[in-house]
Homo-oligomer: A and B are copies of this chain.
Amino acid sequence: MNRPLEIAMLGLGTVGSGVAEVLEEHAELLEERAGGPLRLRRVAVRDPSRVRATTVDPELLHDNATHVATDPDVDILVEVMGGIEPARTLLLHALRRGVHVVTANKALLARHGAELREAAVEGNAGLHFEAAVAGGIPIVKALAESLAGNRVQQLFGIVNGTTNYILTRMTQDGLPFDAALKEAQDLGYAEADPAADIEGEDAASKLAILAGLAFGAEFEAGDVYRAGIGHLTPKDVAAAAELGHVIKLLAIAKETDGEVELRVHPTMIPADHPLASVHGAYNAVFVHGDAVGDLMFYGRGAGRMPTASAVVADIVDAAQDLRRGVPGRIPLPTRSLPVRMISEITSRYYFALEVVDEPGVLGAIATVLGRHEVSVASMIQKGRRDDPVELLFVTHEAVEHQLLAALEEIAGLPQVVRVAQVIRVEGAEDA
């Protein structure tokens, strides 16, 4: 097949205009790599008269997304409009008709992945979504193809650039959360309504997708436990540093004993862990496979051109399948894997207590911890003869509900003013 492959695109925002630019600028290179020409046939936009800052021929713009998506001559449909509807309906329809789909829509995949895969199987069409997770980092292909010889056991990632930027500023420059958020908004790293980022929703969607690929199972964003970064203070960041750690918003997936943990929350990791030096808007995903050991993938997790890079790689993959006349690639789950409740996970923990500095307080606390099978790895007292003083603890591995029960009891001790903070700790073997 040597005719040009016809591409329709839904959306011409930041990513869409980047995709159009790469298709145009690298037309010759892409023709070589895709085995023949790629042609941008039509682009759906809300209001063609308002499109700016793009090199796309205005003739290609169309305000009717359904019209663009159902065009019978389209070979590859690229969805970069975002949102659930009408993207969901249009992609389902296209896949069933055998149109290969490339999408950057993590929310859609994390909520309706199963349905999309079924439609793809029905239509023998490829479903490609490298751009949906971690922008330009080729982690989807790595999990779906390069780790074929592995059982993935764990996956940790920094997959949200907004929160990583905020935490980097809090860590490196001591900014309070609100100031760091404001700055991220001013720089365009954070949305005016930053909730989806700050509260870990965005990372949870990405984790559901990554864990599905890593473990060959089916997860939705709702399966992921979430805690955001809004409650972190410069004091927490300083305490982490004192303990040789940094705080990152990690997306964590682990398979143990036939269950999977899926969680997004602020996490202390050792300062010499490779993820600790992933700063600013960068993303990174750390994967442990039983054969390959530790791998890390690092790069820009968002932005116009990095995301466009991932979309275009998927277009080329789809084009090669089309030219070779073979069914598209659809990573299918092969098993079901129950998700462990957060209260049942085992982790190491950091917690900070404000206590009255008097003899016996540590003994009382240690007794409660021991009764709940929580063993202390290290403890630091901050300040002395202040009233109250602060005690910082790091535990060995403990079961979450036991740790929480212990802390509830500790909060009731007469010498204890309050439990100031609890943060899970990852990234080093339990000693």
Of the candidates B296, B298, B309, which one forms a contact with A150 in the assembled complex, judged by CB atoms under 8 Å apart?
B309
A148 at the interface (CB under 8 A from B): yes
Q: Which residue of B lies closest to A144 (CB)?
A: B33
* Interface residues on chain A, number (Cβ under 8 Å): 54
Q: Is the CB of A151 within 8 A of B293?
A: no
Residue from B147, B294, B300, B316 in contact with A300 in the complex, judged by beta carbons closer than 8 Å: B294
Residues of A222-279 whose CB lies within 8 A of B? 272, 274, 277
| Cβ–Cβ < 8 Å partners of A325 in chain B | 326
CB neighbours of A214 from chain B (8 A): none
- In the bound complex, residues from chain B placing their C-beta under 8 Å from that of A149 are 22, 26, 30, 308-313, 315-316
- A300 to chain B: which residues have CB within 8 Å? 292-294
A282 nearest CB neighbor, chain B only = B294
Please indicate the chain B residues that have their CB under 8 angstroms from the CB of A98 in the complex. Answer: none
In the complex, which residues of chain B have a beta carbon less than 8 angstroms from the beta carbon of A313?
145-149
Cα-based distance from A248 to B298 in the complex (angstroms): 19
> Are the C-beta atoms of A316 and B148 separated by less than 8 Å?
yes
Interface stretch, picked from A135-143, A158-166, A344-352, is A135-143
A37 within 8 A of B: no
The verdict on A216 contacting B32 (CB below 8 Å), with A300-B292, A326-B326 known, is: yes
- Would you give the shortest CB distance from A278 to chain B, in whole angstroms? 8
Residue of B nearest to A130 (CB): B146
A299 in the interface (beta carbon within 8 A): yes
Q: Which residues of chain B are within 8 angstroms of A130 by Cβ–Cβ distance?
A: 146
Which one of B22, B291, B311 lies within 8 Å of A18 (CB-CB)?
Answer: B291
Contact between A299 and B291 (Cβ–Cβ < 8 Å)? no
Which residues does chain B contribute within 8 Å of A146, judged by CB atoms? 130, 138, 141, 310, 313
Tell me if A291 and B317 are in contact (CB < 8 A). Answer: no
Is A305 interfacial (CB 8 A cutoff)?
Answer: yes
Judging by beta carbons under 8 Å apart, are B298 and A295 in contact?
yes
Chain A 339-375, CB-CB to B under 8 Å as 1, else 0, gives: 0000000000000000000000000000000000000
B299–A296 touching, CB < 8 Å: yes
Q: What does the 1/0 interface line of A284-310 toward B look like (CB < 8 Å)?
A: 000001111111111110010110111
Residues on B with beta carbons closer than 8 Å to the beta carbon of A298: 274, 294-298
Q: Is A13 among interface residues, defined by CB-CB distance under 8 A?
A: no
Is A55 an interface position by the 8 A CB rule?
no
Q: Is the CB of A334 within 8 A of B141?
A: no
Q: Which 6 A-B pairs have the closest CB atoms?
A: A149-B312, A138-B146, A136-B292, A292-B309, A148-B316, A295-B299
Known: A149-B308, A277-B277, A292-B300. 13 other contacts (CB 8 A): A29-B151, A30-B148, A32-B216, A138-B142, A138-B145, A145-B316, A145-B317, A148-B317, A149-B313, A295-B299, A296-B297, A296-B298, A325-B326
Residues on A close to B: CB < 8 A?
Answer: 18, 22, 26, 29-30, 32-34, 130, 136-138, 141-142, 145-151, 216, 272, 274, 277, 289-300, 303, 305-306, 308-313, 315-317, 324-327, 334
- Supply 14 A–B pairs (Cβ within 8 Å), ascending by A: A29-B216, A30-B148, A33-B148, A130-B146, A137-B295, A149-B313, A149-B315, A292-B306, A293-B299, A293-B303, A295-B298, A295-B299, A296-B298, A296-B299
